Amino acid sequence: MNQTIDTPRGKLHQLFDSNFLDYTSYVIRERAIPDTDDGLKPVQRRILQTLANMDDGRFHKVANVVGETMKLHPHGDQSIFDALVNLANKEYLIERQGNFGNIFTGDQASAPRYIECRLSPLARETLFNKDLTEFVDSYDGRMQEPVRLPAKIPLLLLLGTEGIAVGMATKIMPHNFNELLNAQIAYLRGQEFTLYPDFPRGGIVDATDYNHGNGRLRCRARLTQPDSKTIVITELPYTTTTQSLIESIEKAAKTNKLKIAAINDYTAEKVEVEIKLPRGVLAEETIDALYAFTSCEMSIVPSLVAIEDNMPCQRGVEEVLRRNTDLLKANLEKELCIELGRLEEKWHARKLEQIFIEERLYKEIEEQTNYKAIVSTIRQSLVPYTEELRRKITSEDVERLLEIRIRRISRYDINRQQKELRDIEKQIAETRKSLSDMVGFTIAYLEDLLTRYGSQFPRRSELRRFDEIDARAAALSNLTVGYHRESGFLGHKIKTENTVNDMECTCSEYDRLLLIFKDGLYKVINVADKLFVGPGLYWFGVVKDDLLFNLVYRHGPENQVYVKRFTTPKFILNREYRLFEADRRSTILLLRTGGEEVRIRAALAPSARAKYNSIELDFNDVLVKGAGAKGKRLTNRTVRRITDITNTPKKPVPTPQELPGLTGQNEEKPEKA
């Protein structure tokens, strides 16, 4: 609806649009979506900065940390506490003391007044540098908070995260510490690399369709089989806890998708969920059912969305790592430049002090009576030595010389001072050498981190390609589908009464049923509770790819009997097809499934000149063709009756080939159903 801005309603629409855009932008940038460069959401960044401000090497009560973080974070203490516990349980940046919950069982952490935390050595070394950090006023203007931290490790891919904003969401998978740093080294060396996720709960991961962080993952629990009646779960899929896993198993057992005798959770430091099986149930079949019908297998759809240059962007895992590596190299170069400046300034100060004391320049100011004359005298006395210095002398240099105490001058050690100058010069040379090869320096930095911290973070998830579990094959055949001919209803809620006319079939809820009617019509349906199919159903059963049908039918227009063999036909669900031409006189005389020896006897109409009034046929002599083929004519004579004699002994009765005039009258060309 179009509204002009001049009207009150138009102004209201404009107000809503403006406020909604502001709210959307705030939620995306300040709450839900992490930053690409330091990999943190604002609440995580504020928690880490607060821990750095409080850091004295000892543990702090989480309640105190939450209270201090509230000076930077404009939201409630519960959101800060939840974020801190989540960050601490990732085990990279925060050391824990006390009960921080259990990521395996889903148990909650203790109250914040009972648990303690502090920054880990890795966080202290790689996250903070005031010289490289841009600070802005906090929400109330009382404190300063960082815009982003100068992280030296790819935290976005290391930690992983989830967030739901307005109109967008992010789901970034965690990756292995060692693999990330090795990939950075490979990138710096110009080599190709590929990254796959690694989950803290372990498990087995099929990353075939990972698509650089924006595809699909399949995660499985790790199952072991100590004996034929026991299955033990030792690792969990991503985002799953033992509690949710047990609930899904119990739900599948209640719906008869699998059978278990008991399930026990012994999880503590490691996952251990024991499943006991009842008598007659095989562990191999149960394992397939666990993957098919429970949370033992999960499908995850990651989406790598992050804030890049103040805008939300979707990127690939390798793109993010390359950007983080370029940023690491730039930050290390800035640090080296800052360090070089400090070393040169230190060398300059020490050199001036050496000249001032060794050349006894302080003697020249003894006769001066005012400060201006003293400064002028020192400047004049240093002029002969300017070539030994690396920069011009400033007022600050003169002030520093004047602050030297007599006691220090009297105890001045020339040899020690010269050694210190040589050490500083050596450090300056090493720093300049590092600056001349930033790629090599960055690689050395990453290799040093790997040497010192890599052993703490081994890969926990196994990468393996596995096939899809067929739910139909894994499902238990726990339904009995009945057909009540008198009412014409079929379904697993139909109870049969007349065992002669009615039919039954055992199947699972995932199976499909093939229905074949007496007039040659057939179709495939899903298993139904109760469905009207009419009284003309001749045969029904579970659809199987290798099922062979042996059919004898009367072709109405010719009043002739034909036989044919065919396998399970291709189909579209609920669409009707035909096995032979529709006619009011066309009907099925006999239908038998199976590839074993099938024999029939046909009773023929009596004839005065005929030697035999019946013939036999072995279906092994009939070729297997399509369901729509017309088939092979049984005989030219009128057939009165067809009898299945598969399990009866053979008698001296002629076959169709032995009757005169019938040789070669066999197959007709196939017709489409």
Domains of the chain, by residue range, sit at: 33-151, 217-300, 318-456, 473-658
Which fold is adopted by the domain 318-456? Topoisomerase; domain 3 (1.10.268)
Task: Catalytic residue, from 114, 238, 362, 538: name it.
Answer: 114
| Pair of tokens at residue 40 | 């943190």
Closest CA to 157 of 194, 120, 186: 194
In whole angstroms, what is the distance from residue 451 CA to residue 579 CA? 73
Which residue type occupies 129?
N
Residues whose CB is less than 8 angstroms from the CB of residue 61 and which lie 6 or more positions away in sequence, other chains included: 112, 113, 115, 116
Highest mean pLDDT pick, 346-360, 439-453, 639-653: 439-453
Q: How far is CA 457 from each of CA 91, 220, 454, 460, rounded to the nearest angstrom?
A: 9, 21, 6, 8
Which residue type occupies 88?
A
| Pair of tokens at residue 647 | 């399990």
Over 60: is that where the pLDDT of 660 sits?
no
Closest CA to 655 of 606, 581, 604, 591: 604
Q: How far is CA 505 from each of CA 478, 497, 577, 588, rounded to the nearest angstrom?
A: 11, 14, 22, 20
Over 70: is that where the pLDDT of 557 sits?
yes
For residue 589, the tally of other CB atoms under 10 A from its CB is: 19
What is the rounded average pLDDT of the residues 200-212? 93
Question: Is 238 annotated as catalytic?
Answer: no
Bridge pairing between strands 599-604 and 639-644:
antiparallel
What is the rounded average pLDDT of the residues 293-309? 93
Looking up tokens 């940038």, which residue turns up?
A: 29
In whole angstroms, what is the distance from residue 184 CA to residue 30 CA? 28
In whole angstroms, what is the distance from residue 600 CA to residue 590 CA? 9
User: What's the pLDDT band for 471 if we cut at 50, 70, 90?
Assistant: low
Q: What is the pLDDT of residue 353?
A: 83
Query: How much is the pTM?
Result: 0.77
Looking up tokens 């006999």, which residue turns up?
A: 590
Q: What angle do CA 430, 434, 437 make, to 5 degrees?
A: 145
Indicate the SS3 state at residue 233: strand
Q: What is the pLDDT of residue 473?
A: 67
In whole angstroms, what is the distance from residue 222 CA to residue 231 CA? 10
User: What's the pLDDT band for 220 if we cut at 50, 70, 90?
Assistant: very high
What is the rounded average pLDDT of the residues 506-522? 89
Candidate CATH numbers 3.40.50.880, 3.40.50.300, 3.30.1360.40, 2.40.10.10; the one for domain 217-300:
3.30.1360.40
Over 80: is that where the pLDDT of 501 sits?
no
- Give the chain's mean pLDDT: 87
Q: What is the pLDDT of residue 26?
A: 76
User: What's the pLDDT band for 666 if we cut at 50, 70, 90?
Assistant: very low
User: What's the pLDDT band for 4 if we cut at 50, 70, 90?
Assistant: low
Q: What is the pLDDT of residue 520?
A: 92
**For 456-574, where are the E strands, in sequence order?**
462-463, 479-484, 489-491, 503-507, 512-517, 521-526, 531-532, 537-542, 548-555, 560-567
Indicate the SS3 state at residue 661: coil
Distance of CA 378 to the CA centre of its chain: 71
Q: Which of 204-218, 359-373, 412-426, 476-490 has the lowest mean pLDDT?
A: 359-373
Q: What is the pLDDT of residue 655?
A: 67
Q: What is the pLDDT of residue 392?
A: 86
What is the rounded average pLDDT of the residues 190-198? 95
Over 60: is that where the pLDDT of 663 sits?
no
Query: What is the DSSP-derived secondary structure letter of residue 76?
Result: -
Over 50: is that where the pLDDT of 532 sits?
yes
For residue 424, the tally of other CB atoms under 10 A from its CB is: 18
Q: How far is CA 6 from each of CA 3, 114, 400, 544, rounded to the nearest angstrom?
A: 9, 59, 68, 71
Phi, psi (5° rounding) for residue 624? -85, 120
Indicate the SS3 state at residue 196: coil
Q: What is the pLDDT of residue 6?
A: 61
User: What's the pLDDT band for 523 if we cut at 50, 70, 90?
Assistant: very high
In whole angstroms, what is the distance from residue 181 CA to residue 204 CA? 22
What is the rounded average pLDDT of the residues 642-651? 78
Q: What is the pLDDT of residue 661?
A: 41
In whole angstroms, what is the distance from residue 562 CA to residue 270 CA? 67
Bridge pairing between strands 204-206 and 462-463:
parallel
Q: Contact at 8 Å (CB) between 481 and 492?
A: yes
User: What's the pLDDT band for 665 if we cut at 50, 70, 90?
Assistant: very low
In whole angstroms, what is the distance from residue 612 CA to residue 603 CA? 10
Query: Could you read off the pLDDT of 45-79 as tens digits, one per residue?
Result: 999 999 999 999 999 999 999 999 999 999 889 99
Q: What angle do CA 49, 51, 53 make, to 5 degrees?
A: 70
Q: What is the pLDDT of residue 279?
A: 87
Closest CA to 630 of 561, 577, 574: 561
Over 70: is that where the pLDDT of 43 sits?
yes
In whole angstroms, what is the distance from residue 268 CA to residue 103 CA? 10
Q: Which of 90-94, 281-285, 298-302 has the lowest mean pLDDT?
A: 281-285
Query: Could you read off the pLDDT of 477-492 as tens digits, one per residue?
Result: 778 888 988 888 999 8
Q: What is the pLDDT of residue 150?
A: 95
Over 70: is that where the pLDDT of 603 sits?
yes
In whole angstroms, what is the distance from residue 667 CA to residue 564 CA? 9
Q: Which of 87-91, 156-160, 608-612 has the lowest mean pLDDT?
A: 608-612
HSE, side-chain direction, 13 A CA sphere, residue 653: 18
Closest CA to 59 of 114, 2, 134: 114
| Pair of tokens at residue 178 | 């060692």
Q: What is the pLDDT of residue 300?
A: 94
What is the rounded average pLDDT of the residues 15-24? 77
In whole angstroms, what is the distance from residue 238 CA to residue 220 CA? 8
For residue 176, the tally of other CB atoms under 10 A from its CB is: 22
Is pLDDT larger for residue 282 or for residue 672?
282
Q: What is the pLDDT of residue 499?
A: 67
User: What's the pLDDT band for 431 if we cut at 50, 70, 90?
Assistant: very high
What is the rounded average pLDDT of the residues 511-515? 90
In whole angstroms, what is the distance from residue 366 CA to residue 611 CA? 153
Q: What is the pLDDT of residue 470?
A: 64
Looking up tokens 């259990």, which residue turns up?
A: 102
Which value, to the nearest 10 degrees, does the dihedral of the CA atoms of residues 185, 190, 194, 199 take? Answer: 10
Q: What angle do CA 133, 134, 139 make, to 5 degrees?
A: 125
Indicate the SS3 state at residue 599: strand
In whole angstroms, what is the distance from residue 147 CA to residue 143 CA? 13
In this structure, CATH architecture of domain 33-151? Alpha-Beta Complex (3.90)
